[in-house]
């Protein structure tokens, strides 16, 4: 299963092993997504996928009770949803672009690649910008910026 780093700086997910995964259909999850839209305390994240399954976590945000202290808060998963993967589910849940990036890529770069794989594919970067947390950085190339979170490619932006 391909995990998708979330890129939330100074916020952590906790206790995910205590949550039993549930299998639901894409329409039900789309309704949940719509229901929580705009609610700051709830967060639905696309966490992983394989050829047959899309995995989402519905988490509650709990801020750090000590102001200005890191981590700034934590996300406590309340539900882990497994959804059967097909074109309809991908479209309904709005994950087609993420899946395309991880499976097909752009400029020879795919989501999930390591630093070594990127260097092998496109060569050394012009600049490297550290983003704060260990394993989070941008590699700047002539035409693109490659973002790494947890030491793997998570995004690509044209310059």
User: What are 60-102's pLDDT values in tens digits?
Assistant: 988 889 988 887 888 899 999 999 999 999 999 999 999 999 9
Tell me how many degrees the CA angle 78-86-49 measures, rounded to the nearest 5: 45
Same domain, 97 and 111: no
CA distance 62 to 60: 6
pLDDT, one tens digit per residue, over 96-125 is 999 999 999 999 999 999 999 999 999 999
Total of domains in the chain: 2
Range of the domain at 55: 2-102
Same domain, 93 and 113: no
Same domain, 112 and 75: no
Same domain, 77 and 6: yes
CA distance 83 to 61: 23
Same domain, 17 and 94: yes
Residue 131 near residue 143 (C-beta atoms within 8 A): no
Same domain, 98 and 139: no
Same domain, 82 and 26: yes
Please state the pTM of the whole predicted model.
0.85
Same domain, 61 and 128: no
Residue 124 neighbours by CB distance under 10 Å:
9
Same domain, 45 and 62: yes
User: How many residues are present in the chain?
Assistant: 159
Same domain, 63 and 94: yes
pLDDT, one tens digit per residue, over 14-24 is 777 889 999 99
Same domain, 112 and 95: no
Same domain, 83 and 120: no
pLDDT score of 135 more than 90 = no
């Amino acid at each position: 299963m391909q995990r998708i780093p979330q890129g939330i700086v100074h916020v952590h997910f906790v206790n995910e092993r205590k949550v039993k995964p549930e299998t639901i259909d894409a329409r039900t999850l789309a309704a949940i997504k719509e229901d929580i839209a705009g609610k700051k305390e709830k967060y639905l994240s696309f966490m992983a996928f394989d050829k047959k399954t899309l995995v989402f976590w519905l988490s509650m945000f709990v801020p750090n009770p000590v102001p200005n202290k890191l981590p700034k808060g934590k996300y406590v998963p309340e539900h882990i949803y497994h959804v059967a993967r097909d074109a309809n589910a991908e479209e309904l849940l709005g994950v087609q672009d993420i899946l395309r990036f991880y499976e097909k890529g752009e400029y020879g770069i795919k989501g999930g690649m390591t630093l070594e794989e990127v260097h092998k594919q496109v060569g050394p970067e012009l600049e490297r910008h550290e983003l704060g947390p260990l394993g989070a950085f941008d590699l700047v190339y002539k035409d693109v910026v490659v973002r790494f979170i947890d030491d793997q490619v998570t995004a690509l932006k044209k310059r």
